Amino acid sequence: MSVETQKETLGFQTEVKQLLHLMIHSLYSNKEIFLRELISNASDATDKLRFEALAKPELLEGGAELKIRVSFDKEARTVTLEDNGIGMNREEAVTHLGTIAKSGTADFMKHLSGDQKKDSHLIGQFGVGFYSAFIVADRVDVFSRRAGLPASEGVHWESHGEGEFSVASIDKPERGTRVVLHLKAAEDEFADGWRLRNIIKKYSDHIALPIELPKEPLSSLESGEDAPAAVEWETVNRASALWTRPRTEIKDEEYQEFYKHIGHDFENPLSWSHNKVEGKLEYSSLLYVPGRAPFDLYQREAPRGLKLYVQRVFVMDQAESFLPLYLRFIKGVVDSNDLSLNVSREILQKDPIIDSMKSALTKRVLDMLEKLAKNEPEQYKGFWKNFGQVLKEGPAEDFANKEKIAGLLRFASTRTEDGEQSVGLAEYIARMAEGQDKVYYLTGESYAQVKNSPHLEVFRKKGIEVLLLTDRIDEWLMSYLTEFDGKHFVDVARGDLDLGKLDSEEDKKAQEEVAKAKEGLVERLKNALGEQVAEVRVSHRLTDSPAILAIGEQDLGLQMRQILEASGQKVPDSKPIFEFNPGHPLIEKLDAEADEERFADLSHILFDQAALAAGDNLKDPAAYVQRLNKLLVELSA
């Protein structure tokens, strides 16, 4: 072993300490995944070297044959994993092995509770990575040298997986990384060739470079030392890129394990699509829908995208140009024969080939989701719960696929229970009432608020289903989604409600007569409410409530106003339309009230109650309470 110099001891990042403790105690039933994760890291390291060597062939140092070697020593109770990839320098070893740099770390840590069953899912959602080594090892040594650096700039990283780690400079003649796991007393099963071979076949058969094991046990090997030249190695995996093989030859389990490799996930994907395109463009793609949302899903600026290969050579880890932002949750690989090997992010953004590929890949993802919704409705419910709000960004971002995206959206309605978002637009249209030619919806802050809204009274009376939209993004979504399958969307709280053929000629005639008869009351209410309202009119929406507030046809709704206000933006001035139910006892009493001061007080109380029913805040709560108290005193006198 080389002499160590410049040795120093450093503390783990707080999140790493917490993750290590929970991982060791939560993933005990899946110990063998440590090898999958370490092989995955080694594979990434060789991919990066292959790419960097395109511009700097000298990084290969005369050894262009890239591979991963796994060995074991029963006597020393060690498992060693070695790659001849890009390697690490001292600073990279401290950064990569001492901290978690992934965006969303803080949110992730907030959710960890110490409940082992629950945390094992969360850890898988975040990605297990290098630290999984401590599930089976009580000490881990990492020996590494970055390609292109002199042998004297090797680094030795060591830790017992507790509060700290040490890092020292060493001589390391060969580039790449060697990880030595000193197994815990109860983990001797992993110092066994048959066991390691089975784990590699199970989890890492798809890795596109050779993974080698010694034909004979290396009992003579000392931990951390290079294998003697006489050792005979054999490749135990297929060593061919999974996406290049025919679909008929690939088992579901292989697809699932490949997803875990590229997605750094612990759970199986919901669905996948493997496709090879030939003709004007030539490329292969393998796309996955994850089973769970990552913690940084709603950070639109977070790194995202597909792994990009050009003629099977790894080029980019997160190429965001191949899918629109609203599909940022999709994981996968795209391998093109038409792009240049020296392609960059800037070039990708301007290349017309990318536009064609992006269009085709987007359609493929939407087809995959359509198939999932049709064939696996329960699975799709899980997808919608995790990714529905992100998919709702689609109609605004992707005009060409607006109708297709709309068909994938799910909403609560007056026919669903507990606010479950399970109604598709095609399903809604299929059961529309006779004479109905529009899709009716209502937005609001919560399911309870919209479900009990007075705006729905006429729809309940006529047995018409209304979609109930309560996500923060919904009003913004509906400003872009104006129709589906030839049916226009109508906000039941906006403008002058026209039910079209759902109202008979007798109904319309009766409404006109009532409006004419109440013209005097309309004028009195206008005078009493003054600048608070844009208009006062007789309502055709109400059957049980005395009054409601409607939104002007071009005005912002409550949801959008609240979002703009919360972000500190100026909200355009707008006033609601006050509608009253002429048949309600309170309105009849109001109409009969001769005292104009009392009439004004009662009018303001009705206005404020209508605002509260709409989920809005009162402009002057104290005045409302005063008027209400005054009324209560009069009634009790």
246-303 pLDDT tens trace: 999 999 999 998 998 888 787 899 999 999 998 888 999 999 999 988 777 777 777 7
State the number of CA atoms in the 13 A half-sphere of 386 facing the CB: 21
Distance CA 630, CA 621 (A): 14
pLDDT confidence of residue 86: 93
Among the listed residues 448, 455, 491, 440, the one whose alpha carbon sits nearest the alpha carbon of residue 470: 448
Distance CA 280, CA 356 (A): 10
Taking a C-beta distance cutoff of 8 angstroms, is the pair 145, 42 a contact? Answer: no
Distance CA 589, CA 593 (A): 6
pLDDT confidence of residue 125: 41
Q: Which CATH number fits domain 502-636: 3.40.50.620, 1.20.120.790, 3.90.1150.10, 3.30.70.1350?
A: 1.20.120.790
Count of other CB atoms within 10 angstroms of residue 364:
18
Model pLDDT for residues 589-616, shown as the tens digit of each residue: 888 888 888 999 999 999 999 888 887 7
Taking a C-beta distance cutoff of 8 angstroms, is the pair 571, 564 a contact? Answer: yes
Model pLDDT for residues 251-262, shown as the tens digit of each residue: 999 999 899 888
pLDDT confidence of residue 156: 96
Please list the residues that pair with 587 across neighbouring strands.
none
Please list the residues that pair with 179 across neighbouring strands.
81, 142
Q: Burial, 3: exposed, middle or buried (Cβ in 10 Å; 0-12, 13-18, 19+)?
A: exposed
Q: Count of residues for the chain? A: 637
pLDDT confidence of residue 62: 83
Q: Burial, 635: exposed, middle or buried (Cβ in 10 Å; 0-12, 13-18, 19+)?
A: exposed
The widest CA-to-CA distance across the chain, in whole angstroms, is 110
User: Is the predicted pLDDT of residue 341 greater than 80, yes or no?
Assistant: no
Same fold, 406-499 and 502-636: no
| Alpha carbon distances (Å) from 305 to 127, 322, 601 | 17, 7, 59
For the 5-240 domain, the top CATH level (class) is alpha beta
DSSP state of 409: -
Find out if CATH 3.40.50.11260 is the number for domain 406-499: yes
CA 505 to chain centre: 49
Task: Choose the most confident range, by mean pLDDT, from 125-134, 159-168, 233-242, 382-391.
Answer: 382-391
Distance CA 433, CA 419 (A): 22
- Tell me what the mean pLDDT of segment 126-145 comes to: 84
pLDDT confidence of residue 126: 44
Domain boundaries, the chain: 5-240, 244-377, 406-499, 502-636
Least confident of 8-17, 110-119, 362-371: 110-119
pLDDT confidence of residue 352: 85
User: For the CA atoms of the chain, what is the radius of gyration?
Assistant: 33
pLDDT confidence of residue 75: 93
Count of other CB atoms within 10 angstroms of residue 346:
8
User: Is the predicted pLDDT of residue 501 greater than 60, yes or no?
Assistant: yes
User: Is the predicted pLDDT of residue 121 greater than 60, yes or no?
Assistant: no
The residue with greater pLDDT, 616 or 39, is: 39
Calculate the average pLDDT of the chain: 85
Distance CA 47, CA 175 (A): 14
**At which residue do the structure tokens 């004419």 appear?**
516
Q: Which numeric CATH code is attached to 244-377?
A: 3.30.230.80
